Amino acid sequence: MADRTELMEAALASYPEGIALLDCEGRVVYWNRAAEQVSGFPGVEIVGRAVPSAIEPLLEPGGGDDTGDSRERGMLVRAQHRLGVELSALTRNRVLRDALGARIGSIVTFRLADRRDALPRGANATGAEIADAQGSLEERVDELFADFTRDGVPLGLLWITIDQGSDLRRTHGARACESMLERVETTLANGAHPGEQIGRWGDDEFLMLSHAPTADALGTRAQLLAGLARTTDFRWWGDRVSITASIGAAHAESGETLIQLLERTQAAMHTSMHAGGNHITLSPGRRACSPS
């Protein structure tokens, strides 16, 4: 009869996701078969040796925190297979502690990300309703991107973050924030042109799909939507909350993938946020002034 150690080793070896056990110095002490398949690196080249730079992103901390918690989906990282091919993977990193609470190492699990995993999404989008909205919007953006690649139908994306979302959630609670976001979504949807669609893409984020014919026209749409967001009349227990939006805009370009288009849109939105909010940024970097 197999003893407990043999059973554990067999279970780890056959686990469908890559597993790496690291000591306190970050050296790999265990590397299962799935890890070999994902990375292309056999255990004899990994265990007890310096981690190759190509796969360092797979083993970096950040998929979890010091309490051992991790996001359900994991963290999307990009690494390089031993043969030189770029790969996208979802990775989780958990701290391991002894009975006294002292840190003794970490365990990392990872798997190749499929296309759906790799699509950039809004931050902390974990609620069921938001997830359902994302799924519906994702199907629609798939259709429109297919129309663009097949027939050249113009496609633009606007990634919209409501600047007051996190502060309102902290000071007034989740119900107040959700009520505000519902009001903003209604305002923006009422200002949508025929064929445009808007939906939740994160806790405080929306994605609008547009057929604006040019990047400049898309930037104009972003300016109008920023103005509409500011007209939202939202009050909570008598307190009026002023609304502003940080918007990133990107027009689909020939030869790029949907993931690349979403990444450009998200990067433009982050530029607007880092500029202090209430900004529009048109990818690749033509930043407008604060909406007037």
Q: Mean pLDDT over residues 133-157, rounded?
A: 89
Amino acid at 115: R
Predicted local distance difference test score (pLDDT) of residue 69? 35
95, 116, 137: which is the final residue of a domain?
A: 116
At 71, give phi and psi (nearest 5°): -65, 150
Q: Does 145 share its domain with 201? A: yes
Q: Mean pLDDT over residues 59-72, rounded?
A: 48
Residue appearing with tokens 């840190």 = 103
Q: Does 212 share its domain with 270? A: yes
Question: How many contiguous H segments (helices) and E segments (strands) does the chain have?
Answer: 9, 13
Between CA 129 and CA 220 the distance in angstroms is: 30
> Per-residue pLDDT for 170 more than 60?
yes
Helix H or strand E segment including 161: strand 156-162
Between 73 and 142, the higher pLDDT residue? 142
- Residue 68 falls within a domain, yes or no? yes
Note the pLDDT tens digit of each residue in 7-36. Answer: 888 888 888 899 999 998 889 999 999 999
> Per-residue pLDDT for 278 more than 50?
yes
Q: Mean pLDDT over residues 59-75, rounded?
A: 51
Under a CB-based contact definition with an 8 Å cutoff, are residues 281 and 288 in contact? Answer: yes
Between CA 215 and CA 259 the distance in angstroms is: 18
pLDDT-derived band at 287, boundaries 50, 70, 90: very low
Under a CB-based contact definition with an 8 Å cutoff, are residues 204 and 122 in contact? Answer: yes
SS3 state of residue 171: helix
> Per-residue pLDDT for 66 more than 50?
no
Under a CB-based contact definition with an 8 Å cutoff, are residues 162 and 204 in contact? Answer: yes
Q: Does 264 share its domain with 134? A: yes
> Per-residue pLDDT for 282 more than 60?
yes
Between CA 23 and CA 34 the distance in angstroms is: 20
Q: Does 13 share its domain with 77? A: yes
The parent domain of residue 283 ranges over: 120-287
Q: Does 203 share its domain with 256? A: yes
pLDDT-derived band at 203, boundaries 50, 70, 90: confident
- In the chain, how long is the greatest CA-to-CA distance? 76
Say how many domains are in the chain. Answer: 2
Between 116 and 264, the higher pLDDT residue? 264
Average the pLDDT over each of 46-60, 67-81, 89-103 and give the range with the smallest value.
67-81
Q: Does 156 share its domain with 97? A: no
- Residue 292 falls within a domain, yes or no? no
- According to the 3-state scheme, what is the secondary structure of 220-275? HHHHHHHHHHHHCCEEECCEEECCCEEEEEEECCCCCCHHHHHHHHHHHHHHHHHC
Predicted local distance difference test score (pLDDT) of residue 71? 42
- Residue 271 falls within a domain, yes or no? yes
Q: Which residues contact 204 (CB under 8 A, 6 or more apart)?
A: 122, 123, 161, 162, 165, 166, 169, 177, 181
Under a CB-based contact definition with an 8 Å cutoff, are residues 277 and 229 in contact? Answer: no
CATH number of the domain where residue 81 is located: 3.30.450.20
- Residue 28 falls within a domain, yes or no? yes
Q: Mean pLDDT over residues 242-267, rounded?
A: 92
Q: Bridge partners of 197?
A: 209
pLDDT-derived band at 288, boundaries 50, 70, 90: very low
59, 89, 116: which is the final residue of a domain?
A: 116
SS3 state of residue 62: coil
Residue appearing with tokens 């893409």 = 201
> Per-residue pLDDT for 114 more than 80?
no
